[in-house]
Amino acid sequence: MCGIAGIVSADGSTPDERLLRAMTDTLVHRGPDGFGHLAMPGCGLGHRRLSIIDLAGGAQPMSDEHARCWVTFNGEIYNFAELRTDLEARGHRFHTRSDTEVIAHLIEEKGAGAFADLRGMFAIGAWDTQARRLFLARDRIGKKPIYWFRDARGLSFASEIKALLALPNCPRDIDLEALDLYLTYQSIPGTRTIFRGIQRLAPASVLTWTPGAEPAIDTYWRLDWSRKTTLSYDDAKRRLRELIVDATRARLIADVPIGAFLSGGVDSSAVVAAMAECSAGPVKTFSIGFPQKAFNETRYARMVAEQFGTEHEEFIVEPNAVEMLPTLAWHYDQPYADSSALPTYYVSQMTRRRVTVALNGDGGDEFFGGYERYRALLVQALYRSTTTPALREVAERATRWFPERLRNHGRIRKLRVFAEDARGPADRFNLSLFNAREFNAAARRRLYSPGFAAALGPSHAEAYFLGLMAESAAEVGPDPVEQALRTDTLMYLPDTLLVKVDIASMAVSLETRSPLLDTTVMEFAASLPRSWKVTRTENKKILKEAHEGVLPHDVLYRRKMGFSLPLAHWFRHELYGYTRDLLLADRSVDRGYFAREAVEALIEDHRAGRQNNASRLWALVMLEHWHREILEAKPAPSHLASPATVA
């Protein structure tokens, strides 16, 4: 795993190697084992290396044997040995064991068509010296990032925005609509970023640019949800398990120690089971827990570790959130408000002390239906089909009779939200479940200052999600859960979850690999009928039943907990004073985004128990830290990561 950067000049001049060095210096956490720079007429490439395969011979940038195609590459290609054999049969000659060299030869052979042949995770920058053409490419689901901007000088790209910000000509104007999207979704979805002019390349995309022309961006892969399997349910269970084992085996290739995150949930446990089947020796597994029982899953992780005889380590941490937040904000480059980034950082930090590569269970929820809101969509469909509009109106009014102190707590809150939102169409109901109504359009408008609201103009943030739902309906049909599953794989998975894991793990120089996001597993999951995944009473049905007799029953059929933090408690107690001081400081208020009295109301209503504003407050806190650590910053975080307290 690595960090990449590059500059392609519009006039064919040789980029300044000092600029390449400045870019890659910001990426040292992604590649602490070495660096490389290459400046040539028209193009400069930079690289920071985390050595995984061919430790001696894998230095980058790297070219084919004719030095026609130069590559800087972040990721792992799991089928590189097969591709190499085929290329050798066609006359190509290799000098290393690196998958990077295979990419260079493949681009020489196929140009933009090369990337569809790659099985793995990748962000690639490649320069064809003969055609004077740049290629930028990302893997199918978007595990590895690549950002870029173009101006009159040329086109620049990098693994992280902070590397682009090292360039004097990099755009720094804030995109107000992106900020509105951030508050709506906790991260900025799609190809836009917080900066106008800087873009993120979409998953499964190839950007091709020849100086003097416009960049062309093409999609080389789309997941087809319309074609369903002809296998029986029992055969599909067996096939699913085979695919997971095969995908896991492919991800065990490395010249460094490998382990696995083990949360005790179905997804990571299934991966550990597959690792145990494929490995000659004991698997190394790592879990993280918290003192609060409601947030601690370690006993389930321990069940799986004992069943497979893993070398298991647990870390119970007391996160010092106040000290960690500036570090998180610096690493995430742009506002990011999924609070599970904090425990993900901690488990990555602890795991990196023992191994360089860790497998995880990412993708199981989105492809096999793990979220409760999928079942809620089925309940809503039943509710709308068996009740009249008048009866639904009565049910909504009835929830208002609860005392105010109870309306926002536990099951009563869920009942009230369901009664209020389930009257509408499925796409709107899914949207309300997705963002938990935390910052819907009305809530954002109440928060915004008059000046910011006027500058922003009409907000269209919800249209992004609803547009994907409409697109999904056109492909998969009227089933709201199928629509939600497809939408989540296009938005929530690549734009929030994979961003979280990539940044948190790379912050500590740990490579993570995701067997459940192998192309074969994703395509098979999309072919399965929804009823094999989600019913009104069960999530991940086929994934669980495929592992009956493999994983402990209590692990398969326990209630989903999620990788969350006690935020509500923190903002009422430990973080109350800190939050007031941070968000109500003149420095913060003077940014002009929010009305001071609206921010203060969020803080005080939460402390008094009138509202659960924990997610809203976290989003505002992370936004303010982003301003301080990135926009007003230095080339390195002002607070180095504080070690967790380990029990």
What pLDDT is attached to residue 642? 35
pLDDT band (50, 70, 90) for residue 375: very high
Strands, E, within 339-378: which ranges? 357-359
Summarised one tens digit per residue, pLDDT across range 519-574 is: 999 999 999 999 999 999 999 999 999 999 999 999 999 877 666 678 888 899 98
For the residues 484-490, what does the mean pLDDT come to? Answer: 98
Return the minimum-mean-pLDDT range out of 18-32, 216-230, 373-387, 445-459.
373-387
The span from the CA of 82 to the CA of 105, in Å, is 13
Identify the CATH assignment for 233-369+492-556 out of 3.40.50.620, 3.40.50.150, 3.30.70.260, 3.20.20.80: 3.40.50.620
For residue 247, give the nearest of 524, 525, 517, 540 by alpha carbon: 517
Return the minimum-mean-pLDDT range out of 5-9, 94-98, 274-278, 283-287.
94-98
> Above 60 in pLDDT, residue 647?
no
Return the minimum-mean-pLDDT range out of 46-50, 120-124, 306-310.
46-50
What pLDDT is attached to residue 562? 61
> Above 50 in pLDDT, residue 495?
yes
What pLDDT is attached to residue 646? 32
- Residues recognised as catalytic: 2
- H/E segment holding residue 31: none
For the residues 437-453, what does the mean pLDDT come to? Answer: 91
Asked whether 291 and 330 are in contact (CB, 8 A), the reply is: no
For the residues 224-233, what does the mean pLDDT come to? Answer: 96
What pLDDT is attached to residue 293? 66
The pair of three-digit structure tokens given for residue 6, joined into one six-digit string: 């590059």
For the residues 436-460, what does the mean pLDDT come to? Answer: 91
Residue with more model confidence, 216 or 97? 216
> Above 70 in pLDDT, residue 337?
yes
Return the minimum-mean-pLDDT range out of 191-195, 314-318, 359-363, 602-606.
314-318
The span from the CA of 356 to the CA of 131, in Å, is 38
Residue with more model confidence, 639 or 474? 474
pLDDT band (50, 70, 90) for residue 599: very high
CA distance between the termini of the chain: 30
> Above 60 in pLDDT, residue 406?
no
What pLDDT is attached to residue 465? 97
What pLDDT is attached to residue 436? 65
Domain boundaries, the chain: 2-219, 233-369+492-556, 372-485, 567-646
Domain 2-219 sits in CATH 3.30.43.10: no
Asked whether 134 and 209 are in contact (CB, 8 A), the reply is: yes
Residue with more model confidence, 333 or 411? 333
Asked whether 54 and 98 are in contact (CB, 8 A), the reply is: yes
Length of the chain measured in residues: 647
pLDDT band (50, 70, 90) for residue 408: low
pLDDT band (50, 70, 90) for residue 116: very high
> Above 60 in pLDDT, residue 635?
no
- The set of long-range contacts for 529-532, using a CB threshold of 8 Å and a minimum separation of 24, is 529/228, 529/229, 530/369, 530/479, 530/481, 530/482, 530/485, 532/233, 532/236
> Above 90 in pLDDT, residue 254?
no
Asked whether 250 and 76 are in contact (CB, 8 A), the reply is: no
Model pTM above 0.85: yes
For residue 99, give the nearest of 211, 303, 254 by alpha carbon: 254
> Above 50 in pLDDT, residue 499?
yes
